[in-house]
């Protein structure tokens, strides 16, 4: 079987780096990009922090108020609201460069992708390293962003490798070096191993991948169930046969907002929903896309999630159709709603490109 050559490309502190690119004077300052929640200056969470802010213990997911406390001594710390449209624009340009250098391109998110370059480099890892450097240079020259690239025979090891020398890293793991690369690393570098599993391994006195390799498949299956046990057994040995699959961005478009007050009142929620529908519709038109599936999403006052969706008979670009169906979903969802809603979202998926002139009437 031919050895595959797979890249995992990951942008370093992506949102904050986009902001530094837009305003170069931010580069020396701690920069935090925040998801503000419309409930006062400190309400919300950190989406991304640059490396200067990270030195003070600021990381994604922590409340903005915690981040401000940790950065108290830095009077020059900057807290900016997320600007997803801008980040998506930058991401698209970078993805185009990656796509042009790959045999198979798999979009994962705004700041990461997998590339299969096996044919392009003839299975040669040295050539792959030169190609990766070329991609890094192009992205730096044309878009002014740095990224980290992991190269190996599969997606799993490449993902671990891309994180190995951040920021601006390039790590090549050839087939004969997989064990040597993985064994000294902490167990939590394995994608999919969360905090609870990691804590369980600590209780078992297992710290590194080398330690974990001592457990046989039966012990792992007994502890974590067959599916997870098998995954962990293969992962610690760097075994992953999942192919890089052709996948483009924009599988769905969505907008979500934090409401001015928690509520389960139809009229209030409906007004907010209509505004969200208009915003999503603008994105659809801008990207020349039709949709077939509509969904709504609640984050309830206890922070649990609820969602509801429906499929239309055919693709459309109609804003009226979007509003009508979203409002119908809202009515149905509220029938047995006991808890108030804190955040409300709408999404469209099953997208396809608008073809030709005949669809222009459905824009209005």
For the chain, counts of helices (H) and of strands (E):
14, 13
320 is catalytic: no
Q: Which two tokens stand for residue 9?
A: 């490309």
10 labelled ligand-binding? yes
124 marked among binding-site residues: no
Is the distance from CB of 117 to CB of 103 less than 8 angstroms? yes
Which positions ≥6 away from 36 have C-beta within 8 Å? 43, 44, 64, 81
- Give the residue ranges of DSSP H helices in the chain: 14-22, 51-54, 64-70, 84-100, 118-121, 125-143, 155-162, 178-182, 195-203, 209-212, 217-224, 226-235, 266-286, 319-334
As given in the structure block, the two tokens for residue 46 are 């950190």
| 14-22 and 84-100 helices, crossing angle to 10° | 100
**Residue 335: strand, helix, or coil:** coil
Residue of 106, 112, 207, 242 marked active site: 112
* Contact call for residues 297 and 346 (beta carbons, < 8 A): yes
Residues in the chain: 364
Please state, in angstroms and rounded to a whole number, the distance separating the CA atoms of residues 282 and 224: 45
Q: What distance in Å separates the CA atoms of residue 289 and residue 38, rounded to the nearest whole number?
A: 30
What is d(CA 245, CA 338) in angstroms, rounded to the nearest whole number? Answer: 42
Which positions make up the binding site?
Answer: 10, 111
Which sequence positions are flagged as catalytic? 112
Annotated binding site for Mg(2+): 10, 111
């Amino acid at each position: 079987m031919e050895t595959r050559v797979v890249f995992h490309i990951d942008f370093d502190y992506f949102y904050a780096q986009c902001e530094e690119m837009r305003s170069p004077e931010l580069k020396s300052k701690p920069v935090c990009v925040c998801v503000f929640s419309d409930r006062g200056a400190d309400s919300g969470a950190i989406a991304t922090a640059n490396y200067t802010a990270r030195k003070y213990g600021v990381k994604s997911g922590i409340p903005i108020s915690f981040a401000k406390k940790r950065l108290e001594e830095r009077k020059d710390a900057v807290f900016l609201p997320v600007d997803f449209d801008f980040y998506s624009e930058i991401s698209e340009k970078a993805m185009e460069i990656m796509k042009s250098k790959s045999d198979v391109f798999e979009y994962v998110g705004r700041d990461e992708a997998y590339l299969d370059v096996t044919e392009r480099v003839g299975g040669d890892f040295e050539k792959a390293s030169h190609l990766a450097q070329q991609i890094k240079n192009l992205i730096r020259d044309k878009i002014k962003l740095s990224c980290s690239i992991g190269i190996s025979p599969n997606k799993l090891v490449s993902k671990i490798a891309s994180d190995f020398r951040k920021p601006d890293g390039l790590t090549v793991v050839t087939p004969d070096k997989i064990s040597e690369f993985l064994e000294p690393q902490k167990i939590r570098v394995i994608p999919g191993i969360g905090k609870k599993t990691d804590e369980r391994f600590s209780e078992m006195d297992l710290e590194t991948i080398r330690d974990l390799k001592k457990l046989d498949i039966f012990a792992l299956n007994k502890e974590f169930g067959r599916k997870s046990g098998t995954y962990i057994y293969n992962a610690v040995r760097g075994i992953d046969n999942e192919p890089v699959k052709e996948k483009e961005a924009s599988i769905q478009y969505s907008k979500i907002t934090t409401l001015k007050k928690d509520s389960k009142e139809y009229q209030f929620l409906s007004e907010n929903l209509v505004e969200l529908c208009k915003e999503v519709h603008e994105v659809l038109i801008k990207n020349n896309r039709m949709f077939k599936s509509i969904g709504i999403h609640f984050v309830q006052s206890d922070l649990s999630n609820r969602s509801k969706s429906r499929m239309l008979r055919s693709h459309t670009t109609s804003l009226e159709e979007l509003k009508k169906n979203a409002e119908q979903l809202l009515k149905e969802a509220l029938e047995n709603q006991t808890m108030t809603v804190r955040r409300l979202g709408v999404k469209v998926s099953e997208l396809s490109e608008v073809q030709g002139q005949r669809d222009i009437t459905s824009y209005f």
